[in-house]
Amino acid sequence: MKAFVIIKTGSTFPAIQECVGDFEDWIRERCGLTADLVPVIDASAGEALPPADGLAGAIITGSPAMVTDQADWMRFLARWLAQAVERGVPLLGICFGHQLLAQALGGEVDYHPEGREIGTVAITLTDHGRQDGLLGYLPETFSAHVTHAQTVIRLPANALRLAANPHEAHHAFRVGDCAWGVQFHPEFTADIMQAYVGRHAETLLQQGRDVDALKAAIGDTEAANGLLKRFYVYCVQRQE
């Protein structure tokens, strides 16, 4: 059977990592997998990316990095993502991974004009989203955890917009049959989201944001969390 991998594009804040682990740990847990079953390739550290043809699927993590920085490793990974899509490899990009995937396929990424979106928010499926094989099982409006300062301001020309909310027009998209990007974080728990709001609290207060209200609104996001295991099962079933 072909390998299912996580492509790491950075780490969470050290204080959060020390307490609850890192992006790849949360992704594996939501997929119901152990570390020995899911190789992690750290693209941000320059680790070699595997041949796309040998993969059952890949999840591209979030990152504190910004896509607009255009570091060498980002450009290399973007080329790899475009090749993987061309070869029909199932991909799921999360937050930074979602943005880099969009850019790799001809979209555009920049800072969101309204600033950071953070906390537990409501997201609504589009008509295409309700019909989508991966996201279509979600309620028409569902809760998800978010934290992002940049956004896909323009989708690739051949992308289908799958989900949005008043702040973020492109919370999810699909290109082709099996390449998805989600701006929200299906790997986050409520505790992780609380830690992120706490980490950004000083800046948010300086911007006039109500941090107490953001923390009070954080809740469980079981439907969104289920997206990761659903993607993994989809990848496995394609190999049978």
Catalytic annotation, residues: 95, 185, 187
Cβ 92 vs Cβ 180: under 8 Å:
yes
The SS3 call for residue 224 is: helix
DSSP notation for 1-19: --EEEEEE-----HHHHHH
> Distance (Å, rounded) from C-alpha 19 to C-alpha 60?
22
Distance of CA 136 to the CA centre of its chain: 17
CA torsion, ordered 125, 131, 135, 140, to nearest 10 deg: 40
116, two tokens:
């950071």
